[in-house]
Amino acid sequence: MGDYGEIFEEEMGRSTVFKDQSKLSPDYVPGKLLHRDEEFRGLTRYFRPVLESGASQRVLITGSVGVGKTALARRFGREFESAGKKRGVNMTYAHVNCRKQGTAPMVIRKIASNFPISVPRRGFSPQEILDHVIHFLQKKDSYLTVTLDELDHFVEQNGPDLLYSLTRPFEESGGPNRMSIIATSFSPNFFDSLDEATRSTFMHNRIDLNTYNAGQISDILNQRVKLAFKPDTVRGDSVDLISKIASRRGDARFALELLWYAGRVASEGKVEKVSPNQVRRAKSKIHPEVRREVLMDLGEHELIYLLALSRRLKISDEAYATGESVSNAYRVVCEESGENPLENAELRSFVQKMEGLGLIDVEPSGGREESRGRDLSISDAPLELMEDVIEKILQRRHGSGDRGGR
């Protein structure tokens, strides 16, 4: 039986590329939100009346997964509290994840936990707890801004009653409404699921977050690399490859997850840098996409060309290979297989087809659009796995006499 103390100390002493892994967590909000200045400015404009005249506000932030809805709301809330203090306004910001706090009582208790209010765990209804919050705000001349994160999921599961009660908590008291709401939603059509009375309280205040492009994701990754990794441990082409993969859906959260997992792969392998192939291995672990059924439909020479690309990338350990180097590698594999190589025009048609199938990525050589050359990459699978799958398909075809066409 192993000595667990020794195992623990051995792992704690293992060399790693990381400096602070927490900076890659979905819960971490950086001091600077890249490519979201205009949206932050929009939130500020909506909430300016709260600080100037005590008017409550309600704003919906929409966008797909990984576009920064939560980070934007949290960063704004932090600045909004600070801005209130500078102006002599007692402002509290509360953030509630409505997927985790999945019932009305849980949401209300989470809001109340931001105040020095004594609330028994049992015996109080959500409305009674909310009344305690309202009384506290009135007594202390304070204001509350609460983010209801993933509110669309909550409403889908529980209906809109909670939102209705939160948008009208001060009506019976007769005092000013001291609660403002930021809601986040995946769907821009979230308003349509609300009744007219509740929908009207938002006054069509909406901020839509667009998906990130590859360049924007690259900026975000480079920002986190400096915070999360030791110097010179993440290669630039690895960041570029992650950006390319994640830009297909504009998801920065997925990009950060890939970066973190690639760092883990590098650390477990006792290497000094995060390389493109470690990114591919991370991708295969998080979202495996060696689509054997697609490979099975490729012709003989298409498979040989893809095999040549896999080998070329594996040897170079680069993110991309030039089209010329892949063509040369293709001729070598043809010679090994006893096949006559096809002309360049046919090879270019292979590239176009496989790019359309999502098997390879194609970029202009040197990143210049005017370049006639093309650089090729495989991003969805480790090269060793891609190579192994293709070789087995070719072996089966040769064994059965099925050459699979061109």
23 is in an annotated binding site: no
Give the chain's radius of gyration (CA, Å). 27
285 is in an annotated binding site: no
Rounding to the nearest 10 degrees, give the CA dihedral for residues 193, 195, 197, 201. Answer: -10
- In the chain, ranges of CATH 1.10.8.60 domains: 3-23+212-286
Residue 203 pLDDT more than 80?
no
Cα–Cα dist 109/128, whole Å: 11
- Residue 66's contacts (CB-CB under 8 Å, 6 or more residues apart) are 212, 246, 249, 250, 251, 252, 253, 254, 255
Percentage, residues of the chain above pLDDT 90: 56
State the pLDDT confidence band at 1, using cuts at 50, 70 and 90.
very low
Domain 3-23+212-286 part of CATH 1.10.8.60: yes
Question: What is the pLDDT, as a whole number, of residue 192?
Answer: 77
- In the chain, ranges of CATH 1.10.10.10 domains: 292-402
Residue 140 pLDDT more than 70?
yes
Residue 373 pLDDT more than 70?
yes
pLDDT tens digits, residue range 121-137?
666 788 888 888 998 99
State the pLDDT confidence band at 115, using cuts at 50, 70 and 90.
very high
pLDDT tens digits, residue range 221-257?
999 999 999 999 999 999 999 999 899 889 999 999 9
68 is in an annotated binding site: yes
Class of residue 68 by CB neighbours under 10 A (exposed 0-12, middle 13-18, buried 19+): buried
CATH class, domain 292-402, is mainly alpha
255 is in an annotated binding site: no
pLDDT tens digits, residue range 22-40?
999 988 999 999 999 999 9
Residue 147 pLDDT more than 90?
yes
State the pLDDT confidence band at 8, using cuts at 50, 70 and 90.
confident
Residue 406 pLDDT more than 50?
no
Question: What is the pLDDT, as a whole number, of residue 372?
Answer: 64
Residue 195 pLDDT more than 70?
yes
Whether the CB-CB separation of 17 and 229 falls below 8 Å is answered with: yes
Question: What is the pLDDT, as a whole number, of residue 120?
Answer: 64
Question: What is the pLDDT, as a whole number, of residue 4?
Answer: 87
- In the chain, ranges of CATH 3.40.50.300 domains: 36-208
Beta-bridge partner residues of 364: 374
266 is in an annotated binding site: no
Question: What is the pLDDT, as a whole number, of residue 209?
Answer: 96
The CATH number of the structural domain formed by 36-208 is 3.40.50.300
Percentage, residues of the chain above pLDDT 70: 92
Tell which wins on pLDDT, 14 or 169.
Answer: 14
Whether the CB-CB separation of 72 and 36 falls below 8 Å is answered with: yes
For the chain, the average pLDDT equals: 88
pLDDT tens digits, residue range 254-298?
999 999 999 998 988 777 899 998 998 888 887 766 667 788 888
Question: What is the pLDDT, as a whole number, of residue 188?
Answer: 75
70 is in an annotated binding site: yes
Intra-chain end-to-end CA distance of the chain, in Å = 57
Residue 369 pLDDT more than 60?
no
Tell which wins on pLDDT, 401 or 297.
Answer: 297
292 is in an annotated binding site: no
